Structure 1
Amino acid sequence: MRLLLVRHGQTPTNVDYLLDTAAPGPGLTELGERQAAALPAALAGEDISAIYASTLIRTQLTAAPLAADLGLGVTVRDGIREVSAGDLEMLPGDTEAGHAYMTTVFAWAAGDTELRMPGGESGAEALGRYDAVVAEAAGSGAGTVALVSHGAAIRMWTAARAANVDVAFAAAHPLDNTGVVVLEGAPEDGWKVLSWAGAAVGPAGESGPTGEAV
């Protein structure tokens, strides 16, 4: 199975750099709408046969142009929503709160899944809900599935589940709005990242034609 993990388009709280993770969340900015409108062309080479989005409005708005272009519906699932910020909700992401948030997310990806976000979920809960949606998508029979999700959640799940991407790589490679991580594999066999935001990823998480970080 080919799995496309797509970050949503830009939101007003992305612009303000806030830890905005609660449902239903904001819509898209004008730039975010243009980013969503560009997705069909950006993914034109993919034979997508199923599209999923989270329960946060921004992912559904991002998925809508792609779904319309392909004549597909959008399956909405809570499991691929953003990692809950808990007590850190709506605090600035470029402060100690943001550092605590991402440190917790990557600790989960490294295996400390019993750790809990302050006032929020544990790593076991976050990975478990994401795993469940990926398993559902894999069991749908679709050869290629697009999951429109969220930056921290995508980086956490990929670092935890892909054999060739580790925490150091995911931490060093934030995803821009509508950035895409392409994987292949299956829940029972494991996953391998093929590309990260358009750059090929090698066996050890190397990216770019010379293996340099991009």
Structure 2
Amino acid sequence: MTTGAEFDHLFKILLVGDSGVGKSSLLLRFTADTFDDLSPTIGVDFKLKLMNLSGKRLKLTIWDTAGQERFRTLTSSYYRGAQGIILVYDVTRRDTFTNLSDVWLKEVELHVNNEDCVKLLVGNKVDRDSERAVTKQEGIAFARRYGCLFLESSAKTRVNVQQCFEELVQKILDTPSLLANTSSAKKNILRPGQPGNDEAQPSGVCQC
């Protein structure tokens, strides 16, 4: 098993989107393989995940941001230094899809300082397909328009959850400009005083 001190790259990933789309549930499913219909995140939370991909040992810090507007000033600083952004919407709620372009992509463009930051669009809750309000074709078209990867998922049934994070991380690995300063020799993510480290405490570590 890879220990926390032994990794080739450390990546910062953010989950963004409206409240209630399932960001926290996706994160819990990926890091602990459990499901809970969680209450809305207050401010920002994060978890650690260790994984191996393409022969690389990776440590992921995955930040789960609150979707409510009142927390947006607080969460804006967490975009800095991110290599990957997961934009999540609920396929049963069209407003969460339209808000991606009206709100969340604007936040990303305003605050992300890695020009080549990889964006992944995720349509969550496909287990409720009979209630679908956004078609898969609309998701694909949106992703193409804004240069995002795209997958549909269900945190409840595990559908595509692992694939979401693996595809995002693989794209980061394939983008040389995003690999600068990500080696274990250059990172200490819990050192006090660094942006994004002393603003929140980790909610859990998964060494799966």
Give the number of the structure whose residues are more often strand, by fraction. 2
TM-score (norm 2): 0.35
TM-score (norm 1): 0.34
Give the number of the structure whose residues are more often helix, by fraction. 1
